[in-house]
Amino acid sequence: MAFVMVPEDADSLRQEKLPEAAKNVVAAIEKVAQETSEANNMAAMLRSIGLVATVTVVLLIAFRFLFRARAWMSRRLAELAHSYSQKLSPAGELLLHRDRIIHAIDRVASLIYWMFIAFLMFNWAGFVLSRFPYTRPWGEQLTNYLIIVIKSFGSALLHAIPDLIIAVLIFFAARLVTGLLGSIFDRIEQNKISIAGLDQDTVRPTRRLVSVAVWLFALVMAYPYLPGSHTEAFKGLSVLVGLMVSLGASSVIGQAASGLIIMYTRTLRPGEYVQINDSQGTVVEVGLFSTRIRTGLGEELTMPSSLIIGNITRNYSRTVQGAGYILDVNVTIGYDAPWRQVHAMLVEAANRTSGVLHDPPPQVFQTALSDFYPQYRLVCQAIPTGPSPRAEVMSALHENIQDVFNEYGVQIMSPHYLGDPDQPKIVPKDMWAPAPADT
């Protein structure tokens, strides 16, 4: 069977001019006859096989050449990277690390190498399939597909250039706006200018919020001009990203909102000594999602913003006079000790402690009258602001309280009181430093 005409062909013949239609029919019949003859011609098939083998050998040689060229290029670029990394090292400090540069260059060389390999393999497959009558349509389709892809890519690139220019201009305008606002925020942070509601504590989060808002607005404005924004794949990706953000943003947004509340209400400031829940320490950094606190025992605690908002925060630095923080100690003393004497002993212990201020003077409060003992709280102000000095001052204050109560023969009651002992639980002064303690 060499030629068949169907009703659709007759319709197309009516629409075309008869001489041109006849030429097309004759060309199609001649092509079928030629390919049928070629398929039955053993010599032509052997020539095609030989040509395919020759092209395959050339392809393998090209692969070998590309492999050596890739190795040579990697070595040469590595040498250049090493020399330039040595030049870009002012005062012996490397600005560009040699290993990272070589790794990046190797990745780029590998990408170029495999792109050439894929291009040669694609053309080789199209050439081989085009040599034989039975597979020639597949080869022609491969070749036409590559040409169509290159044309469509080039056409899309040319049409996308104006939109890309508009998108770049939008992002450039956003960068310019954030730069101008950044200079204003810098002046506010340096106390050169003042704006209502902004100070050194709130200018940093405000800068971040404004920058995020400007860039999000720029992204929304530039979205229609991005290449592929109207394709179904891009729309599907946008839906997927939106779904992921909506599922995972509840806790993130809650933490961010808590961090903003802490910053704008000025609940915490770096350098202040606070107690959050059962943890005490100096505030190191107040962030959007967490706050870092350093204790006097060498620990650094990271607390989520939602935890701080959901618990009572005690600030020992906010109400002091000048620099420093508040110290408080709770002790329980029996009812047999006169409360005036207890007040005087606690004040004396505070005055003996190095770092505790005499002005304002230490104060003692009776916070509870329990079944077996009153509870006293000593409140005083100390000078150091770091976490370690505060731990040292607190330890020294505890030591002085024990010494003063032992000197005056007053027993400190345990919270787990069961009864009065036969002998008072006090330590005489000559036994304050038994071995191995130093005198």
Residue 383 to residue 363: CA distance in whole angstroms: 16
Residue 109 belongs to a domain: yes
pLDDT tens readout for residues 229-287: 666 766 776 777 677 666 655 666 777 778 778 877 778 888 788 888 878 888 888 87
What is the rounded distance in angstroms from the CA atom of residue 77 to the CA atom of residue 90? 22
Each residue of 1-14: pLDDT tens digit? 555 667 766 666 56
Any idea which residue has 């650094």 for tokens? 300
Show the CA angle centred on residue 315, arms to residues 309 and 317, nearest 5°. 145
Residues of the chain with pLDDT > 90, as a percent, come to 8
Q: Are 160 and 227 a contacting pair, CB within 8 Å?
A: yes
Q: What angle do CA 24, 27, 33 make, to 5 degrees?
A: 140
18-39 vs 7-15: helix crossing angle, rounded to 10: 140
Q: What is the pLDDT of residue 10?
A: 64
216 with 100, same domain: the answer is: no
Same domain, 396 and 299: no
The residue segments making up the domain with residue 52 are 7-154
258 shares a domain with 186: yes
Whole-angstrom Cα distance, residue 172 to residue 184?
A: 19
The answer to the question of residue 138 being in a domain is yes
Backbone angles phi, psi at 262, to 5 degrees: -65, -40
Distance of alpha carbon 324 from alpha carbon 382, whole angstroms: 6
Do 78 and 141 belong together in one domain? yes
Question: How many other β-carbons are positioned within 10 Å of the β-carbon of residue 392?
Answer: 16
Q: Indicate yes or no: pTM above 0.85.
A: no
Has residue 159 been placed in a domain?
Answer: no
Q: Would 432 be classed as within a structural domain?
A: no
Work out how many domains the chain is built from and give that number: 4
Q: Do residues 37 and 102 share a domain?
A: yes
**Do 332 and 391 sit in the same domain of this protein?**
yes
Q: Quick one: pLDDT at residue 378?
A: 94
- Structure tokens belonging to residue 151: 């044309």
In a domain, 434, yes or no: no
39 and 127 together in one domain: yes
Q: Is residue 68 part of a domain?
A: yes
Predicted confidence at residue 186, as pLDDT, reads: 80
Cβ count near 173 (within 10 Å): 14
Note whether 341 and 307 are same-domain residues.
no
- What's the CATH code of the domain at 355? 3.30.70.100
Same domain (yes/no): 235, 145: no
Please name the residues in contact with 297: beta carbons below 8 A apart, sequence gap of 6 or more: 391
Give the integer Cα–Cα distance in Å for 330 and 367: 9
Q: Are residues 258 and 279 in the same domain?
A: no
Q: Give the β-pairing of 273-276 and 279-286.
A: antiparallel
The answer to whether residues 324 and 281 touch, using CB atoms and an 8 Å cutoff, is no
Distance CA 344, CA 387 (A): 28
Neighbouring CB atoms inside 10 A of 33's CB total 12
Question: What is the tens place of the pLDDT at every residue in 290-338?
Answer: 888 888 777 888 888 888 888 888 888 777 766 778 888 999 888 888 8
- Do 372 and 400 lie in a common domain? yes
Q: Is the peptide bond before 133 cis (omega within 30 degrees of 0)?
A: no
* The dihedral sign for the CA sequence 293, 299, 300, 304: negative
| Nearest-angstrom CA–CA distance, 293 and 283 | 5
Do 362 and 379 form a contact (C-beta atoms < 8 A)? yes
| Below-50 pLDDT ranges, the chain | 90-91, 93-95
> What's the pLDDT score for residue 123?
80
The reported pLDDT for the residue numbered 95 is 46
Burial of 282 (0-12, 13-18, 19+ CB in 10 A): buried
281 in the same domain as 256: no
- In a domain, residue 420? The reply is no
Residue carrying structure tokens 């607390």: 303
Question: What confidence score (pLDDT) does residue 291 get?
Answer: 87
| Radius of gyration from C-alpha coordinates of the chain | 42
Is residue 423 a part of any domain in this protein? no
Strand-pair partners of 274: 281, 315
Q: Are 410 and 333 in contact (CB under 8 A)?
A: yes
